[in-house]
A = this chain, B = another copy of it.
Amino acid sequence: MNFLEERILKDGIVKPGNVLKVDSFLNHQMDIALMEEIGREFKRRFADKNITKVLTIEASGIGIAAFVAKEFNVPMVFAKKTKSINIDGELYVAEVESFTHKNKNHVIVSKKFLHEDEHVLIIDDFLANGCALQGLISIVESAKAVVEGCGIVIEKGFQYGGRAVRNMGYPVESLAIIDAMDADNGTITFREQN
């Protein structure tokens, strides 16, 4: 078991409906030492890639992606979920459905911050049905930039998002892949990874 799987077993809480609460260390309260360790681990996993930008989506991806970007010494861009009056000019747009909030959002990135031929590492906290990740990929593709990889903190391996994105040919590294959860007895089964 790696450091993240250990932390999930220690502090994650399994709820009915395949909900995993990690709000004590990842997506409401953040353990900064853990964020730094996550940043170093993604740097290790994508060490052979010439990353020029880290891309994530607000809100809970931001803290993680910031420490990944620090390791690669590149800027981080976070996609926004609604059109803000403070964002003008040309935008890349994708439509994304939220599993958590049961609604659809337009996800936007200003064209100023994603250029042709950039080498992008996409980071997010969760991968389940893959809608958010596919939205970010489509934005990078729209910019004619290169998706060098996708770094996910927790993948719900029993949902189809990870398989779909890997089948599209994009490298996906998930620090923990959950194959099963049981809310009755609180057990979590991780997929074996090399």
Q: In the complex, A67 Cα to B113 Cα: how many Å?
A: 22
Q: A80 — nearest CB in chain B belongs to which residue?
A: B28
* Chain A 24-58: CB-based contact to B (< 8 A → 1; otherwise 0): 10011111100110000000000000000000001
Decide: B78 and A101 in contact? CB cutoff 8 A.
no
Decide: B100 and A86 in contact? CB cutoff 8 A.
yes
Comparing A68-76, A151-159, A168-176, A183-191, the segment that makes contact with chain B is: A68-76
Interface membership of A63, Cβ < 8 A? yes
User: Which of B30, B58, B73, B84 is the one whose CB lies under 8 Å from A76?
Assistant: B30
Chain copies in the assembly?
2
Instruction: Report the interface size for chain A: residues with CB under 8 A from the other chain.
Output: 42
Interface membership of A66, Cβ < 8 A? yes
Shortest distance from the beta carbon of A84 to any chain B beta carbon, whole Å: 6
Q: In the complex, A59 Cα to B58 Cα: how many Å?
A: 6
User: Which of B32, B80, B100 is the one whose CB lies under 8 Å from A84?
Assistant: B100
User: Which of B21, B58, B102 is the one whose CB lies under 8 Å from A58?
Assistant: B58
Decide: A75 and B36 in contact? CB cutoff 8 A.
no
Q: A75 — nearest CB in chain B belongs to which residue?
A: B29
Shortest distance from the beta carbon of A43 to any chain B beta carbon, whole Å: 13
Decide: A19 and B86 in contact? CB cutoff 8 A.
yes
Shortest distance from the beta carbon of A65 to any chain B beta carbon, whole Å: 8
Q: A71 — nearest CB in chain B belongs to which residue?
A: B32
Q: What 8 pairs across the A-B complex have the smallest Cβ distances?
A: A58-B59, A59-B59, A62-B62, A29-B113, A63-B66, A29-B77, A30-B76, A32-B70
